[in-house]
Amino acid sequence: MSEKSAYAISGVDTHAGDLAVKLMKEAVSRTHGPEVVGGVGGFAGLFDASALLRYKRPLLASATDGVGTKVAIAQAMDKHDTIGQDLVAMIVDDIVVVGAKPLAMTDYIACGKLVPERIADIVRGIANACAATGTALVGGETAEHPGLLGIDEYDVAGAAFGVVEAADVLGPELVRDGDVILAMAASGLHSNGFSLVRHIMAECGLTYHTHSAELGATYGEALLEPTMLYTSPLLAAIAAHPGAIHALSHITGGGIAANLARVLPQGMWAEVDRATWQVPTVFTHLAELGGHSLAAVEGAWNLGMGMAAVVAAEQADAVAATLRVHGLEVWEAARVVRGERDLTGFEVGAKGVDGGAVRLVGEYRQ
């Protein structure tokens, strides 16, 4: 018995892996500009960094992430062509928060059984989102883990790097008293809070194939709406309005208040007015199913705000207009204030950051 056939007996199919690469190769290649050296299939991806020589002090920005338990819904629906965009968005939209342009990304897919068409669907989604954000997909890995994952189970993760001129880094140190917080609409739940979603669905005895009159789709279809990509519109706004954008906040795990507090300096606070936007139906419906108020799920879901920009007040209208031209729904959600106050009910910093303070006030628009 050959070593190759022994490996197949253990549950690992190297031929399926080769077929998956063939199926995804064209989509991956479309993300490659002249900076990518060597194409697809090498042990390591090569990226020509000579363009960084034009920077005075280039800083590399890196991020890594996955999409959490949203993959369970993709698997239940046997729909795998959107989860790749979720992965890219979670990573490159973190990179742009510091003002960096994403350059290149790699992905990792672990599965119980390698089904080439399924893997190709996932990677096509990754490649399409990379192309939309100007990010080269320079490498990846697909690994079969028989006995550890079920035959229809998989998980996805990725990492990317970008570059920003040191003098142009965005962050709390640029935020000023009176700055405007511009909110940008989310496309849905994005890739956070799905453990709560799955709990609610299970408690209500609902399947993802169940049609919801409120959502106008099956639950699975509504929940798999891919994550909004903010990178290109934000980079356009940063370029069009130099110095106007002081900080950005990607509203992911922890919700609106916690993520905004991370990008405000100590001594500053903001009250986000819930009445400035209408929460999308997918959130209100799920909250009602679970018997929760919207306030009770603010720490789990983005409730329709996927990204926020802290902007100089005198340039806020112009920045908002540019973002709208690039396809984003934008509104003023709050103003930043410096000064002493009672911070009861505020989220103060988050994830190890000694930042500012944020709370949500008022009632959501009906």
Place of tokens 């911070």: 343
User: Residue 190 sits in a domain of what CATH number?
Assistant: 3.90.650.10
Q: How many CB atoms lie within 10 A of CB 50?
A: 7
- 217 and 135 co-located in one domain: no
Place of tokens 């103003």: 335
Q: Please report whether residue 21 resides in a domain.
A: yes
Please give the pLDDT value at position 366: 77
Strand-strand pairing, 305-311 and 347-350: unpaired
Q: How far is CA 98 from CA 193, 234, 353, in A?
A: 24, 11, 15
Low-confidence ranges of the chain (pLDDT < 50): 1, 10
Please give the pLDDT value at position 1: 43
Q: pLDDT digits over 173-185, tens only?
A: 999 999 999 999 9
- 55 and 156 co-located in one domain: yes
The closest of 157, 31, 11, 29 to 88, measured between CA atoms, is 157
Q: Please report whether residue 25 resides in a domain.
A: yes
Q: Please report whether residue 276 resides in a domain.
A: yes
Question: Where are the alpha helices (H) located in the chain, listed in sequence order?
Answer: 3-9, 14-29, 70-77, 83-95, 116-132, 194-203, 219-223, 231-240, 255-261, 281-290, 316-325
Q: Please report whether residue 5 resides in a domain.
A: no
Please give the pLDDT value at position 354: 80
Q: Please report whether residue 1 resides in a domain.
A: no
Q: pLDDT digits over 25-61, tens only?
A: 666 667 777 888 876 666 887 888 998 999 999 999 9
Please give the pLDDT value at position 328: 98
Please give the pLDDT value at position 30: 73
Please give the pLDDT value at position 210: 97
Please give the pLDDT value at position 182: 98
Token reading at 358: 């944020």
Please give the pLDDT value at position 38: 76
- 121 and 78 co-located in one domain: yes
Please give the pLDDT value at position 36: 82
The parent domain of residue 264 ranges over 172-361
